[in-house]
Amino acid sequence: MEIKLIKVLAIQASNLPKIIARTLLLLSCTTIFGFSPNSSNPQNPKITIDHDKTVTIYEILEIIGKQTECTFIYQSDIFKDVPQIKLKKGTIYVNDLLKQCLPPAAFNITTTKDNYITITRRISNVYPQGNIKGVVTDSLGMEMAGVNIVIKNTSKGTQSNLDGEYNIIAHPSDTLVFTYMGYKPQEIAVGNRNIINVVMLADATSLDAVVINAGYYKVSDKEKTGSIARVTAKEIENQPVDNPLAAIQGRLTGVNIVPSTGLSGGGYTVTIRGQSSIAAGNEPLYVIDGLPYNSSTLSDQSLSGSILPGGQLSPLSLINPNDIESIEVLKDADATAIYGSRGANGVVLITTKRGKAGETRYTVSSTTSIAHITRGVKTLNTQQYLQMRKEAFANDGIAEYPEWAYDINGTWDANRYTDWQKQLMGETARLRTLETSISGGSENTRFLISAAHRNETTVFIGDAEYGRTTVRTQLDHSSKDSKFNIGFTAGYTIEDNNLPNGDLTFVAAGLPPNAPSLYDENGDLNWENGTFENPLAQLNATYTSKRNALVSSMHINYLLFKGLIIKSTFGYQDSRLDERRIIPHTVYNPAYGFNSSFSSVDSNQGSRNSWLVEPQLNYSHPLAGGNLEILLGGSFQSETDQRFSQLAVGFPSNDLLGNLAAASLQFIINDNTTEYKYQAVFGRINYNYKNRYILNLTARRDGSSRFGPGNRFANFGALGAAWLFGEAQFLKENLPFLTLGKLRGSYGRTK
């Protein structure tokens, strides 16, 4: 459960020209539908206090954040004078609790319909005119509205208007304090001045609030020494894609993602910082909720290659993108060396959503969308095409057109024109999704159950379609003293893909514009007396794939004593694929005289199951003015792949193509079992001195059955360092415009 406590992350519209700002405010209005049982006012939920205790205001906000959907926005030092509060066991409304802890005479509390709660200090004795005036701008010179201007150590103050202007009565001995959410406070002595213009500087410490998943550990965006890119659920959830890789395409620098096909379920080519190997491949390591996921396909290229380039059925299409909380991509050696040889091409970390404490919440959503090709490849018309063909034959010295050149020798109508791209790919694809989820729980136990179904057709002629159903469950539990924590996640996916045997895209691009019509006068496929290979005959052949996959993981954490945590991760995966390509004799030109004895069926069954155990020790301790973190762990994995492929030819009737035993000839193409064993030890040492100098050392020793017999083990490691030079006092004094200055570098070995 992630607690939403936002301190200085807001961006105000006053930083933009007013017309643009107002437009953005209008465009940002969104309606979210949801309902909670037993709650007449979702904007004022109840929370439960389990026992009497004395806490700080920050702890109260944390309790509210764990049990509700409330998000707090406030300045970091606003509660410095608020004393501790005594809480009594029982239930209470959030608004009532906040009013008791934060007196209305001293604080403004504003709640939006999305449960964003803004807390600000009340400013008394605001003067309409004063002897001190000025304009408040940001570092780009844009006027800032709503900046708080207070006379230090008093309650007297005012705010800047929409043009950034302010005025206030102050004495020469007073000091003005300028504060604004997301910006550094400014203290300026009045002296003998009547005009004081102020430039507010962005507060780079907000980077500390962005925590990045680096695999076996987490680090703030500000303090990372490696190259790590991140995409969140907010950027993923609004994209109507079937694959998580499509959701991050074009969003991360140094990460090149290219789909192999436009069809759902198809594969992707992913390269991180360019191609790493010619022979060994460039596929990165995928890790889902701490569990390494084998991305290699179980598909047989000889079956699926006719419709899916490279024979790729993407394993990641089995994950519902809306189940993802964030995707981090580890790019350099400092970030990937802790994964050893498997991280040589980069690492893609996928973290799924987890339950949140509070009253049980139900959500249901449904979407329907359509897709149509709006622009195709520009092609020649019939006259241009025939002119080009004539010139080609003339250039080859051929005066009499050959018998097989039906498009130009008079066999086909020279005045006929068909836009084959519209004819073969002009259908409207339809996408329908239905998703539902249930989440809730207490402060100590939280759960999430979700299900989704997706159905999608293609723009091709025919009834090809893609279907996927996913079910996911997640459970978190922690003890009252927070020393023990256990979490379990399991997802199950069923995928059904029904595609034509061939890709009509290439057919549409290659057909002459004066080729005959697809159907004859009787509505049957037109073969034009054997001179035309009708492309629709390919629709008589089909490619189907049925896949199901189970991905489950569990982690157990225990705090042995302050600074030392023992942890273990367990994972299990099971994937199964059944694909079949049926090619009846009706796909061939009747002029060949084929019958059902020429019909064939290719089939492939594949399965993969694996288990993983990763014990870890995490230690953190202050040391010599800094903080030392040590991670030690091990990884033990076993995986078994099985493949069985066969070809059946010669059926007495096409009605028996579903029964391979009816074929006169059967061939076993592939029948093998592959076992993979892996074990490793890894470690990390990180030292952060005064939040300014950071040293990060990672290492791993891999042992794999895929290594050569004489080299079963290999060592990998990296060293990263960072210097936050923007924190140096002399730079703060002499370069006030510098909000963040950082130098980092790393060296490592991942091959």
Number of residues assigned to the chain: 751
Mean pLDDT of 122-143: 70
- Average pLDDT of the chain is 80
Higher pLDDT, 43 or 598: 598
Q: How confident is the model at residue 312 (pLDDT cuts 50, 70, 90)?
A: low
63 vs 28, higher pLDDT: 63
pLDDT tens digit sequence for 55-106 = 888 888 888 888 887 887 777 667 776 777 777 777 888 888 888 788 776 7
Instruction: For residue 222, give the DSSP letter.
Output: T
Separation CA 74–CA 5 (nearest Å): 9
Instruction: Give the integer Cα–Cα distance in Å for 65 and 194.
Output: 45
pLDDT for 155: 67
Same domain, 37 and 114: yes
**Which residues neighbour 406 within 8 Å (Cβ) at sequence distance 6 or greater?**
412, 528, 531, 532
Residue 146 and residue 110 in contact, taking contact as beta carbons nearer than 8 Å: no
Q: Which helix (H) or strand (E) holds 58?
A: helix 57-67
Strand 116-121 and strand 107-111: pairing?
antiparallel
Residues 136 and 75 in one domain: no
Residue 449 pLDDT exceeds 90: yes
**CATH number of the structural domain spanning residue 188:** 2.60.40.1120
Residues 140 and 193 in one domain: yes
Question: How many domains are contained in the chain?
Answer: 2
Eight-state DSSP code of residue 705: T
What average pLDDT score do residues 195-214 get? 67
Amino acid letter at 438? I
pLDDT bucket at 276, cuts 50 / 70 / 90: low
Q: How many CA atoms lie within 13 Å of 652's alpha carbon, on the beta-carbon side?
A: 3
On whether residue 67 sits in a domain, the answer given is yes
Asked whether residue 38 falls in the same domain as residue 116, the answer is: yes
Say if residues 659 and 612 touch (Cβ distance below 8 Å): no
The pLDDT assigned to 50 comes to 77
Smallest Cα–Cα separation from 546: which of 316, 299, 241, 309?
Answer: 299
Question: Does residue 488 belong to any structural domain of this protein?
Answer: no
Label the pairing between strands 165-168 and 132-138: antiparallel
Mean pLDDT in residue range 476-494: 90
State which amino acid sits at residue 178.
Answer: F
One-character DSSP codes across 156-179: BEEE--TTSEEEE---TT-EEEEE
Comparison of pLDDT for 258 and 688, the residue scoring more: 688
The answer to whether residue 188 sits within a structural domain is yes
Residue 691 falls within a domain, yes or no? no
pLDDT (average), residues 732-737:
66
Q: Are residues 50 and 109 in the same domain?
A: yes
Residue 459 is assigned to a structural domain of this protein: no
In a domain, residue 147? The reply is yes
Give the type of residue at 401: Y
CB 703 within 8 A of CB 711: no
Compute the Cα dihedral for 655, 656, 659, 660 and give only its sign: negative
Do 41 and 105 share a structural domain?
Answer: yes
**Distance (Å, rounded) from C-alpha 272 to C-alpha 276?**
8
List 683's β-bridge partners, or say none: 632, 699
- Predicted TM-score (pTM) of the model is 0.67
> Could you report the per-residue pLDDT of 703-715, keeping only the tens digit for each?
888 887 878 888 8
DSSP helix, strand, coil percent of the chain (3-state; round to 5):
15, 45, 40
φ/ψ (deg, to 5) at 664: -80, -25
- List the beta bridge partners of residue 200: 138
CA distance 295 to 246: 15
Looking at the fold, whether 36 and 105 belong to one and the same domain comes out as: yes
The stretch 701-728 carries a mean pLDDT of 83
- The tokens describing 585, both together, are 């004799």
- Supply the pLDDT for residue 76: 64
Note the pLDDT of residue 225.
78
What is the token pair recorded at 608?
């993969």
Is the pLDDT reported for residue 477 higher than 50?
yes
List, as one string, the DSSP characters of 636-686.
Answer: EEEEEEEEEEEEEE--S-GGGTT-GGG-SEEEEEEEEEEEEEEEEEEEEEE
Classify residue 91: in a domain, yes or no.
yes
Quickly count: other Cβ atoms within 10 Å of residue 646's Cβ: 17
Confidence of residue 616 (pLDDT cuts 50, 70, 90): very high
Are 679 and 657 in contact by the 8 Å Cβ rule? The answer is no
Instruction: Please give the Cα distance from 20 to 669 (Å, whole number).
Output: 64
Stated as kind and residue range, the H or E segment containing 394 is helix 382-395
The b-or-e profile of 564-578 (16+ CB within 10 A means b, else e) is ebebebbbebebbbe
Q: Is 566 helix (H, G, I), strand (E, B) or coil?
A: strand
Is the pLDDT score of 722 beyond 80?
A: yes
Are 115 and 140 in a shared domain? no
Mean per-residue pLDDT for 222-239?
76
Alpha-carbon gap, residue 602 to 481, rounded angstroms: 59
Residue in this structure with the two tokens 């906040």, named with its chain if needed: 98
**Mean pLDDT confidence for 560-583:** 90
Do 97 and 167 reside in the same domain of the chain? no
Strand order in the sheet with 5-6: 5-6, 71-73, 116-121, 107-111
Q: CA distances (Å), 44 to each of 40, 111, 284, 301, 441, in order? A: 9, 9, 46, 57, 18
Lowest mean per-residue pLDDT among 154-158, 196-200, 418-422, 692-696: 154-158
Written as one string, the DSSP assignment of 435-481 is: EEEEEEE-SSEEEEEEEEEEEEE-SSSS--EEEEEEEEEEEEEE-TT
Contacts of 740 (CB under 8 A, 6+ apart): 204, 207, 222, 724, 726
Q: What is the average pLDDT across 4-33?
A: 31
Asked if 183 and 11 touch (Cβ cutoff 8 Å), the reply is no
Amino acid occupying residue 55: V
Token output for 464: 């090809």
pLDDT at position 6 over 50: no
| pLDDT for 74 | 75
Listed residue (92, 4, 2) closest to 48, CA to CA: 92
User: In this structure, which amino acid lies at residue 164?
Assistant: G
Q: Give CA–CA dist 654/649, Å, rounded.
A: 11
* Shared-domain flag, residues 147 and 186: yes
Q: With a cut of 70, say whether residue 117 has pLDDT above it.
A: yes
Number of H helices, E strands in the chain: 11, 37
> Which domain does 163 fall in, by range?
132-205
CATH number at residue 39: 3.55.50.30
Q: Cα–Cα distance between 302 and 660 in angstroms, integer?
A: 18
CB 318 within 8 A of CB 549: yes
If one counts every other C-beta atom within 10 angstroms of the C-beta of residue 64, the result is 24
For residue 44, is it within any domain?
yes
Distance CA 138, CA 144 (A): 7
Confidence check: pLDDT of 12 > 50 = no
Burial class for 440, CB neighbours closer than 10 Å (0-12, 13-18, 19+): buried
**What is the sign, positive or negative, of the torsion defined by CA atoms of 132, 137, 143, 146?**
negative
Rounded to whole angstroms, the Cα distance separating 361 from 441 reads 10
Nearest CA to 458 out of 434, 433, 426 is that of 426
Q: Considering only CA atoms, which of 526, 669, 544, 663 is closest in space to residue 599? A: 663
Of the residues 205, 222, 255, which one is the last residue of a structural domain? 205
The predicted-structure confidence for 510-525, as pLDDT tens digits, reads as follows 899 999 999 988 888 9
Say whether both 35 and 113 belong to one domain.
Answer: yes
Amino acid identity of residue 406, one-letter, is Y
What integer pLDDT is reported at residue 751 of this predicted model? 64
Given 205, 236, 266, the domain boundary residue is 205
Residue 2 has pLDDT above 60, yes or no: no
Q: Are residues 110 and 54 in the same domain?
A: yes
More confident call, 4 vs 305: 305
**Of 65, 88, 121, which closes a domain?**
121
Q: Is the pLDDT of residue 633 over 80?
A: yes
- Between 60-64, 279-283, 360-364, 700-704, the lowest mean confidence (pLDDT) is in 279-283
Beta-carbon contacts of 612 under 8 Å, excluding residues fewer than 6 positions away, are 291, 292, 569, 570, 571, 572, 635, 636, 637
Check if the beta carbon of residue 412 is closer than 8 Å to that of residue 512. Answer: yes
For 502, list phi and psi in degrees, rounded to 5: -135, 160
**Percent of all residues in the chain with a pLDDT value above 70, rounded to a whole number:** 85
Assigned token pair, 367: 């979407």
